[in-house]
Structure 1
């Protein structure tokens, strides 16, 4: 009887001792496995900052500055004012244009042109909210941006650059030695031409939607809204829809839009004050 009692007493004691020991051994293993996984997840969720060379008064540069912020990419910005013609800059970027991003994944390490930069970053980071993958939807975004760069922006540039103090395009009246009256006439013609492509964005690309991208601003919307900022320098009478559209984009994007836009607006205010002085 004593032998049986001893056996029965030993077994529960052994099990009771073994269970906490097993649990104690298991807990650190779970924690050790969980910590690296959590760290890895956090690390992959964080997108690297975009290394961006830019000029604050420019709406082309504003476009990428807005997009980088709105997309949560951050921006490691370098003000390239006065440095775009330096040997160091042109060695990397022979076009001497901004905005310019630097990325080791690019064949030549750098990329300029605002639309190309936004397309690249959206593709790289899977930002479908701003640049949809569906071929038909993407085609409309691309078409809107190409139409802006090829048709609307040249009119805006011809109308505003003389007031902004920006270099005029070679071969045009504004860049020539033509009489000031001829330059003024060309500038007014460019201003008059803005209305038609602007209406195309309203009636065709938006087509009753809040934005070109639908419910949310796309990269084409960011490019268009930024472009329209320059028209303030010539007091261009934007139609009601365009004013509401720009306000809606700024509301949707918040500080991501307002901060870079503030630099452009500040420069325009400075230019206007100098003209009055």
Structure 2
């Protein structure tokens, strides 16, 4: 039995998306990111102290994109990881690009907006973070223009990673000059197995509820 620890709207959405697409049975333990007791429990199992993390037998794995890759490679039956070595390299290039050049500025802005103590926050840092994010959205926008997926003609792990990361950018009003990125996000979240979007996850969290695993389940709550 696979067990995933985390909850939308956090980066747990990434591996949840792969679980949905691969139709894998998995118990999801709702670990809330700002709950001290929950985080102490996380550290007892995962010394890094981060969510999401996956337990797969004896394997305890953190980092959301690493979890996605493991699910595809170990349980995906060949889906979402290209067989061709060059295509796999391109997929991983985009995975690293997304988490380092797009996500990290967004995370930096979030730290200074809501997570750091008030006295440690900086409006200058927020502005610089958004500037850095928009700078690296430009090559991604150019790459996606006229393409359905990041690599080849079928979705890979990088596409699910990109959809979540760009949804994050869009929720921070950073995609106004990126129509190809916006269209990509809408296409990906129109997939039947798509999870909730970040804004939907926050809405459930703020209401003291847990978001459903599938976006299409929203109408059934």
TM-score range, shorter chain: 0.7 to 0.9
Q: Measure the CA separation in 1 of the matches of 2:56 and 2:150.
A: 29
Q: Measure the CA separation in 1 of the matches of 2:42 and 2:195.
A: 29
Residue number among 179, 191, 194 corresponding to 1:257 in the alignment:
194
Q: TM-score by structure 1 length?
A: 0.65
Q: Which has the higher helix share?
A: 1
Choose 1 or 2 for highest CA Rg. Answer: 1
Decide whether the 8 Å contact of 1:132 with 1:138 is kept in 2.
yes
Q: Measure the CA separation in 1 of the matches of 2:47 and 2:123.
A: 33
Residue number among 42, 46, 70 corresponding to 1:89 in the alignment:
42
* Counterparts in 2 of 1:269 and 1:191: CA distance versus 1, 3 Å: farther
Residue number among 87, 110, 121 corresponding to 2:71 in the alignment:
121
Q: Does 1:131 align with 2:81?
A: yes
* Counterparts in 2 of 1:260 and 1:190: CA distance versus 1, 3 Å: closer
Q: Measure the CA separation in 2 of the matches of 1:267 and 1:260.
A: 11
Q: Which residue does the alignment assign to 1:77?
A: 28
Q: Over residues 55-108 of structure 1, what are the superposed CA-to-partner deviations in whole Å (9 max), with x where a residue is unaligned?
A: 2221x111111111011114311101124432x43232001111111111x4xx
Q: Measure the CA separation in 2 of the matches of 1:158 and 1:223.
A: 18
Q: Over residues 208-258 of structure 1, what are the superposed CA-to-partner deviations in whole Å (9 max), with x where a residue is unaligned?
A: 42111333322111111111222344333432111111011112x22x224
Structure 1: runs of 5 or more not aligned: 1-48, 169-174, 271-277
Q: Does 1:55 align with 2:18?
A: no
Decide whether the 8 Å contact of 1:115 with 1:145 is kept in 2.
yes
Q: Over residues 178-216 of structure 1, what are the superposed CA-to-partner deviations in whole Å (9 max), with x where a residue is unaligned?
A: 5x6xx1111011112212211222334x47421113333
Q: Which SS does the other structure have where 2:194 is aligned?
A: helix
Decide whether the 8 Å contact of 2:87 with 2:152 is kept in 1.
no
Residue number among 133, 136, 140 corresponding to 1:201 in the alignment:
140
Residue number among 3, 7, 19 corresponding to 1:68 in the alignment:
19
Could you say which structure has the greater relative contact order, defined with CA pairs below 8 angstroms and 6 or more residues apart? 2
Q: Superposition pairs for residues 239-254 of structure 1, below 5 Å?
A: 239-251=178-190, 253-254=191-192
* Counterparts in 2 of 1:261 and 1:196: CA distance versus 1, 3 Å: same
**1:140 shift after superposition:** 0.6
Q: Measure the CA separation in 2 of the matches of 1:231 and 1:260.
A: 12
Q: Which residue does the alignment assign to 1:141?
A: 91
Decide whether the 8 Å contact of 2:9 with 2:201 is kept in 1.
yes
RMSD: 2.6
Q: Which residue does the alignment assign to 1:234?
A: 172
Spell out structure 1 runs of 4+ moving beyond 4 A. Answer: 175-178, 267-270
Q: TM-score by structure 2 length?
A: 0.79
Structure 2: runs of 5 or more not aligned: 208-221
* Counterparts in 2 of 1:153 and 1:261: CA distance versus 1, 3 Å: closer
